[in-house]
Structure 1
Amino acid sequence: MNTAIMVIVVMGVVGIVFGIILAIANKKFSMEVNPLIHEVDEILPKGQCGACGFAGCANYAESVVLNPDVPPNLCVPGKDAVAKLVAEITGKVAEQVEPRVAHVRCNGSISKATLSYNYEGVHDCAAASLIQGGPKGCKNGCVGFGNCVNVCNFGAMTMGDEGLPIVDMKKCTGCGACETACPKHVIQIIPSNATVKVGCNSKDKGAVARKLCSAACIGCGICAKNCSYGAIDIKDNLAVVNNAICAEKCSEATCVAKCPTKAIKIAIESKEHEKVETLKVTS
């Protein structure tokens, strides 16, 4: 009995001694946290998307305050509003942030794209892609299991009834998390002022692409021929748009009206009806 009491007493004394030592060490070696770090962290959107190039918002807040070489405009979701606030707090100059949004480069919905086989495994795009490139006939198309939706911390993406992700342009911050998560590289981050978008990621030749998906770009080049500003090229059997040229110079997207498979569409969905009606009159 006495032995047990002695053990308890000794352990208690040892605990107290070590507690005092740790308290002294903590006070001696503690570092003051710059209060500006907390101020910056408070105004960041907390998406933890990593678009800034740092491991989370807290890490970026610390770096932008303590490192003079880290610019205040790296928070893509925060856009210009957050960049200006970070600049004010840190005393830096913020260059203008170009607004960006996510674009799904695939129109191959359930009703338009063919399947190679019926997939019954884990509903994960990366996992499904390991089996013969995925269940879709087009091996560059959207797999449709929503990896992009799952990583969106801003609620800007949902899966549609036709098996394709839908982007809410009002909520999308252009952070790029969905782009990184897509194993097929179907998601592309484009400027929010882009005039047109190509809804296809196929690299197959025209006849094959059309056989696998009725909405595929067949690489016919009609869009490029009808573009007065040379903003469209055909690369690997796929139309590629130079968004900078297109947004700056194009006022009438004739490529949309001329595309035989409707693979090219007006980029800003809210203005799509208005522009298409204008094209019908002018074409």
Structure 2
Amino acid sequence: MSIEGIIVATLIVGVTGLIIGLLLGLAGEKFKVEVDEKELQIRDLLPGNNCGGCGFAGCDALAKAIAAGEAPTNACPVAGAEQAKLISDVMGVENEEKEKQVAFVKCAGTCDKTNVKYNYYGIADCKKVALIPGKGDKTCSYGCMGYGSCIKACSFDAIHVVNGIAVVDKEKCVACGKCIKECPNNLIEFVPYKSEYRVRCNSKDKGKEVKLACKAGCIGCMICVKNCEDDAISVVDNIAHIDYNKCTNCGKCAEKCPVKVIV
């Protein structure tokens, strides 16, 4: 190939590249998506678990919502108080401290305390077992079935089945709420991390039926109510309920409970 041919080819390639570059630059300007700098900063402060505990599809969606003022700066249950404060600083708003919550399983029906009506052999999944008449092999149909659907739902290794019932490790729990949504018996609820006394029962049966099913069930005797000086405990649907806004952790309810279901 002659020198002239090489020069012409080089010029053609160069001009073509220049034209393509200009076209790409114009297209980029025309179709570029504006990105909120605050949104990017907030996303960097979120943990990236994408657990959905905040109520949004994931950390990207939450960051966008916070930046737009559509979600509070402490909406992420995993991030913690320190990260929430940093997010508040990014948004230029006052940080609202939120009391730490943890999941709690309202059942004390361990293998040695609950009665069994038959032997179950099948898929170890609470939602599937819940479709069987009687909801599993335990006599109490309100309690923990112990097949571990909540364990599969937890991304933080914070819940395990111990002696037939699910137990939450409150040091690992981040209150994402996945276990609550997974439990077919609605056994799991959020309680304050600092709460010292909790009712480990979910049965709505009356005392006689409860005793026939489990040695550790609430019999609705009202003794806890009579001994609470702070009006922090009540019995509704035959089960004791603690109002954590009133509870002072005095322990009198647990001390007087005849079945020791308040722990």
User: Which category of TM-score, normalised to the shorter sequence, fits these structures?
Assistant: 0.7 to 0.9
How big is each residue's C-alpha offset from its partner over 1:159-179, in whole Å with a ceiling of 9 and x where there is no partner? 22x021221111111221111
Assess if the C-alpha contact under 8 Å between 1:141 and 1:201 holds in 2. yes
2:153 pairs with 1:155: no
Aligned partner (choices 125, 130, 148) of residue 146 of structure 1: 148
Assess if the C-alpha contact under 8 Å between 1:100 and 1:189 holds in 2. yes
- Scaled by the length of structure 2, what TM-score is found? 0.85
**In 2 relative to 1, CA 133–94 (structure 1 residues): closer, same or farther, beyond 3 Å?**
farther
What is the match of residue 200 of structure 1? Answer: 201
Off by >4 Å, runs of 4+ in structure 1: 22-27
What is the match of residue 166 of structure 2? Answer: 165
Aligned partner (choices 264, 267, 271) of residue 262 of structure 2: 264
Larger Rg: 2
Instruction: Tell me the percent identity.
Output: 39
User: 2 CA distance for matches of 1:201 and 1:26?
Assistant: 59
What is the match of residue 91 of structure 2? Answer: 90
3-state DSSP of counterpart to 2:246: helix
Structure 1 residue 126 displacement after superposition: 0.6
User: 2 CA distance for matches of 1:231 and 1:49?
Assistant: 33
Assess if the C-alpha contact under 8 Å between 2:195 and 2:249 holds in 1. no
User: 2 CA distance for matches of 1:45 and 1:183?
Assistant: 29
Equivalent positions of 1:213-232 (< 5 A) are 213-232=214-233
Let me know the Cα RMSD of the aligned residues.
2.0
User: 1 CA distance for matches of 2:27 and 2:114?
Assistant: 65
Assess if the C-alpha contact under 8 Å between 2:85 and 2:95 holds in 1. yes
User: 2 CA distance for matches of 1:238 and 1:166?
Assistant: 20
3-state DSSP of counterpart to 1:230: coil
In the alignment, structure 2 segments of 5+ residues that lack a partner are 1-19
2:189 pairs with 1:188: yes
User: 2 CA distance for matches of 1:207 and 1:38?
Assistant: 59
2:122 pairs with 1:121: yes
Q: Which amino acid aligns with 2:187?
A: V
Give the count of matched residue pairs.
241
Task: Kindly indicate which of the two structures has a greater share of residues assigned to helix.
Answer: 1
In the alignment, structure 1 segments of 5+ residues that lack a partner are 1-18, 266-283
What is the match of residue 178 of structure 1? Answer: 179
Structure 1 residue 181 displacement after superposition: 1.1
User: 2 CA distance for matches of 1:44 and 1:114?
Assistant: 45
3-state DSSP of counterpart to 2:89: helix
